[in-house]
Each structure stands twice: as structure tokens, then as C-alpha cells.
Amino acid sequence: MKNIFYFSFLLLTILLVSCNKSNPKNGSSTQPEEVNATTTNALLPEKVIVYNEVNYKEQSIPEWLNGVDSNFMNQLNQKVIASDLQLYSSNIYYEPETKIKMTDEDVKLNMRETSKISALYFVESWSFDKASYTLKKHIESWSPVLEFYKTTSDGRIDSSRKAKKLLYDVRENTSSKEQLIAQNITYEVSLSSEQKTSDFLDLNKLIHLIVEPVIRGDKKAYDFFDQTEMTPMDVKYVFGYSVDSLEEEDPVTGEWKTVKTEVQEEDLSDIEAFIFVEDWYIDTKTFAIRKQVKAIAPVIVQIKIDEETGESYLSKKIAFLVKM
């Protein structure tokens, strides 16, 4: 961020940190994990809040996406409802002071005959350490996404109209008892300005933090699909780097000489999303979820024109995969 905004962002971030305390039924509370004093968060002075939805396996399109096992998550939902964990009404933005405490009966009333839990919705804080090339996600809260059919004015189910709502909110409240629940969960997070998925995230800065070490050769990059290693020049070409030379024949010697060279530098401005590969852990006591980011892949998003029809379409290309 520009220096002129530094202190205002820092103040707002401090307010976010002070608000984001867990509030279980037993009255105990824990502070969210703070950025280590020896670690510099390159994204902001403290953290960036990001909102995103991760679908289950049967919802995963395209095939490379790897969602959460729906049977396990449905069982988890039942365990959460049956526990004495304090639940809260859920909304998109993490606003602890405005959320209402919910009972298990409140949650059950929100469930409908035609509804199903289709995804998990996360409110996360991100930090990036340039020295170790590590992106950490701290989950402030998570919510099951309830998908259901709307009803008509006379009470009939309208199978042509679907809606979504967040069922409840589980606050961050980590203890020392956690277990691995899923490996190599793979999903895309769009971070374009139109998506409104983050607060105060400097997307351009994040892009350069991820891509530049790869282009310099400090971090190895791999093809996302076949896992073959890519050279720094391979990566530059993906982002449009090119060299065009104009040659002319010397009329005296007959030799061909380069008289003009045009270089098109790589362009990172079309990166509007990232694919994450993660392992997920859950606290068996408090149901807090922890994500360990194992790899990240920038996604190039462009609007292109079909040569035959003249119609525009959205094109996505995975630039490379780099391991954390």
C-alpha cells in the first residue's frame, strides 16, 4: 500500500484484530494467531481479510478441483449442532458485534427439506513472509453454505429457483487437539475488484510477491497439470514476453544482420485469481479449521473474441504452480 495510507490501514487492522476474539459457551476466549514479531507480512502491516467459498467434491468443476468430502462435512455439521459450542448467526462479513448467538434449535429451523450443505464459507486473514516464501491463512470463522429451492407465494417449491444462505458461524477457537481431515484440497479464489472477496488486499503487490521470485529463478515453477519443471523464461513467455528481430541482408557481404530488436516485456496485469493447494486440519474439540498452504498457482483471466462467431468469452489460463 502507498505510505500515505499506512497509518489509516494500520489503525483499522488493529481494530479488526481486537474484535476477532472467539466466544465459546464456557466463556473462555482466545486471541487469533498474531503475525510473529520476527516475520514481516508483506501484504499489510498486520493481515488481510479474505472471504471465499470452497465447494464439495461433487460440486467440483473443472475436474482438477479437489473439494471436501461431502459425507464427512455433513457428519461434521451434525456434530457441531449436537455439541455445546456457541454458534452465531452468519453473514458474509466478519462483524462480531452484530452477530447473534444461535442455539441448535435455531440452526435446525434454518434447515429445509429441500436443502443441502453444498460448500464451506471462510473468513480468513492472510499474511505473506517474503523471506521464507510462505503464505499463511488464519481462519477467523467458517460457515456451512446451505443451498435450497425457493418457494412460490402459495408455498409450493419452485425447482427452477435456487438460493444460498450461510447456516451458522463457527468462530476461531483453537485448542491443541487437531487432526488432518483432507489433503491436497485444490480450489480457485478470484481476487478481482469486481468479486469483492477481500478487504484492503493489494492484489498487484501479492502478484509480484508470488511471480517475481519465479522469474528470477529463486523459486522453481512447475506446469500445473503434468508437474514438469518450467524455466524462468518459460514463465516469462506465459505472460506474453517476446523478442522480435528485424534482419536485413548486407548488399556487400551478403550476410544477414539484425538491424532492429523489439522486446515485449511480460505482463502480469491479467492475473485475477489464484489456485491454492492445501491440507486441512480440524480441532476435534472446538471444530476450528486450519489450512496449510502447500502450493499456489496464478490464474490469467482474459476476455477474448471467438473468431468464428465474433462473440466474447472468458478465458482462464493457469500460469504455473509454485510450492510454498
Angle, CA of 35, 38 and 41, to the nearest 5°: 45
Q: Tell me the three cell numbers of residue 277.
A: 493447494
**pLDDT score recorded for residue 123:** 87
pLDDT at 201: 81
**Buried-exposed string 49-88: b where 16+ CB fall within 10 A, e elsewhere:** bbbbbbbbeebbeeeebbbbebeebeebbeebbeeebbbb
Distance CA 158, CA 225 (A): 40
Is this prediction's pTM over 0.85? no
Low-confidence residues in the chain, pLDDT < 50 = 1-39
Q: How many separate helices (H) and strands (E) can be counted in the chain?
A: 5, 17
DSSP class of 167: -
Q: Residue 298's pLDDT is what?
A: 97
Instruction: Give tens-digit pLDDT for 149-178.
Output: 887 888 777 777 878 888 899 987 776 788
User: Tell me: the pLDDT tens digits for 219-249?
Assistant: 999 999 999 999 999 999 999 988 776 777 7
The pLDDT, as a whole number, for residue 196 is: 67
Return the C-alpha cell found at 276: 491454492
pLDDT of residue 318: 96
Grid cell digits, residue 253 = 557481404
Residue type, 294: K
How far is C-alpha 236 from the geometric centre of its chain's CA atoms?
A: 24
Peptide bond into 24 cis (omega under 30): no
Instruction: Please report, for the chain, the start and end positions of each structural domain, with discontinuous segments joined by +.
Output: 3-223+267-323
Identity (one letter) of the amino acid at 18? S
pLDDT of residue 294: 97
